[in-house]
Structure formats: C-alpha cells, structure tokens
Chain A
Amino acid sequence: MSQRSELRQQYEIIGSLQPAIHTPQNWNYEIPSALYRAYMHPPHDVGGQRDVPVHYEEKEEEQWELNTYVTCEVLAWRGVWNAEERRRRADNDLGYTLYLGMPYYGRWIWAAARMLVDKNHISLTELLEKIAEVKSRYEAH
C-alpha cells in the first residue's frame, strides 16, 4: 500500500462504491408509473446524470476493436443493417447491466452477432459452433 499508484487505484475503487437497496421483486403484479417510466428510459440517454470526477483516459486500440469497427461498418455498407440500427442494438437493447458493464466495442460485436441471428443470416447453433471452433483453433496453436 506504499505506492502512490496503488493509493490512487484504491481511491478509484472507493469512489465507485455505492450503497444498494435490494427489494424483493417476486410478485410484480403492478408497478408504479414512475418505475415503469424509469424502466422504459433508453439506457443510452445519460446526459445530465450525476457522476464523480475521474481521470479522462486515452486507450490504445486493440486489434479486435479495429476489426470490430470495420466489420460493423462493412455490414452497413453492404446493407445488412444501418448505423442507427447498430446504435439501437448496441446501446439500448442490452439493458443496463450489459450496457454499462461491457467494453465499448464489446457491445458493437455482440450487437452484430445478435443481428445476424435475429435476421436469420446465421443460426445460433452455427454461431456457437464457430465460437467454439475459433477458441480451439487458437488454443491448438
């Protein structure tokens, strides 16, 4: 705990600790209108929400991130989807947990995979088998 950098990391973690109130949700026969509206709020619309000061970071680009960007754009170039549909799928349809929890381009590639299955360009089985095959291909190296 002597390093200044470790202290800074501790501050980052402490700054993000928040109290949570968990209420039982077994019997959701009715929900208040305010809660319904909160559920319906598009997760990507974050302007004006409170947050704490952070260090604004640069990030070096990963190869898979560039590939993901290009794949998503080329899918739109060839008319398989459009950028607005991509934004809807990658920013709204995931729900808050994935929207706030996944990496930026992780959401893009996840949304592209989901779109290909939704539109029957590929089957889910095909996708799962491909993922398993790619994994074993790299592990077998």
Chain B
Amino acid sequence: MKRTKAPHARKSAGNAPARFKVGDRVRVKDLPNMFYSRTQMYARGVSGTIAACTYQDLIPEDEAFNQEGRLEQYYIVRFRQKDLWEEYPSEKDTLQTEFPDRWLEPA
C-alpha cells in the first residue's frame, strides 16, 4: 500500500498561539466568501463569549484543499440567540458553535 499516513499526522507549518481564554468576549470576522468556509453566515459580525478552548488543528480553508497550514486553536463560542436573530422571542436561549482563532477578534 502506497499511502498509510493518517490525515492528522500531516506536517503543519507550526502552531499559532491561542489568543483567547474562556470568558473572553469575541466577535466573528466577516471575511469574503469564496469556494469554502465553515464559518456560518449567521454568526458573522456577531459577538459572543468563549465557552471552551477545544483543540489545535488545521483550519478548514487549508484542509479542504489539502494544503499544509499552521495549526490553530479552536474555540466554542456561545451566543445569545437574540444577538443572532433580532426577532428571536426569548432572552434566555443560546447557541454554541466552533471557530478557529483567525476567524475571531476581540469584541
């Protein structure tokens, strides 16, 4: 068999340091869309709170094209539903989803 390397064993161009910690307020960047993204449009430009620092991995924009990039810290971010959808009826409800470091900026 020619290929036996695990996808996660691929070499990367190093690690980027984690810029955020649990409890930090962050805003999701609104970069242009082209070809591929795992940063949902509904979260773009919206602020939330870091709920967890999860793992370091390649970012989807590199991995989806089989490119070696640097590993980045991923975070679970918690949003108020009301911040995502203006007409959302409850103040209480929340939504969590995950982003790599470069998609976030301090809020």
CB distance from A116 to the nearest CB of B (A): 14
Residue A88 contacts which of B3, B41, B64 (CB distance < 8 angstroms)? Answer: B64
A37 and B7 alpha carbons, distance in the complex (Å): 32
Judging by beta carbons under 8 Å apart, are A41 and B41 in contact? yes
Judging by beta carbons under 8 Å apart, are A82 and B33 in contact? no
A41 and B30 alpha carbons, distance in the complex (Å): 12
B11 within 8 Å of A by Cβ?
no
A15 and B39 alpha carbons, distance in the complex (Å): 31
Q: Which of B32-49 contact A (CB under 8 A)?
A: 32-37, 40-42
A87 and B7 alpha carbons, distance in the complex (Å): 14
B90 within 8 Å of A by Cβ?
no
Judging by beta carbons under 8 Å apart, are A84 and B60 in contact? yes
Judging by beta carbons under 8 Å apart, are B32 and A84 in contact? no
Which residue in chain A gives the minimum CB-CB distance to B39? A45
- Given known pairs A40-B33, A42-B37, A45-B40, the reply for A79 and B3 (CB within 8 Å) is yes
Judging by beta carbons under 8 Å apart, are B4 and A47 in contact? no
Chain A residues with Cβ below 8 Å from B63 are 82, 84-85
CB distance from A99 to the nearest CB of B (A): 13
Q: Mark A56-86, 1 if CB is under 8 A from B, else 0.
A: 0000000000000000000011111111110
Interface of B is mostly: loop
Range of interface residues on B (Cβ < 8 Å): 20 to 34
A48 within 8 Å of B by Cβ?
yes
Chain A residues with Cβ below 8 Å from B37 are 42, 45
Judging by beta carbons under 8 Å apart, are B7 and A76 in contact? yes
Q: Mark A21-64, 1 if CB is under 8 A from B, else 0.
A: 00000000000000001001110010110000000000000000
CB distance from A39 to the nearest CB of B (A): 9
16 sample A-B contacts, Cβ–Cβ < 8 Å, listed by A number: A37-B33, A40-B32, A40-B34, A42-B33, A45-B37, A45-B41, A47-B41, A48-B41, A76-B7, A79-B7, A82-B63, A82-B66, A84-B63, A87-B64, A88-B35, A88-B65
Residues of A within 8 A of B (CB): 37, 40-42, 45, 47-48, 76-85, 87-88, 92
Extra pairs beyond A37-B33, A78-B4, A87-B64 (9, CB < 8 Å):
A42-B36, A42-B37, A45-B37, A47-B42, A78-B2, A80-B3, A82-B66, A88-B36, A88-B64
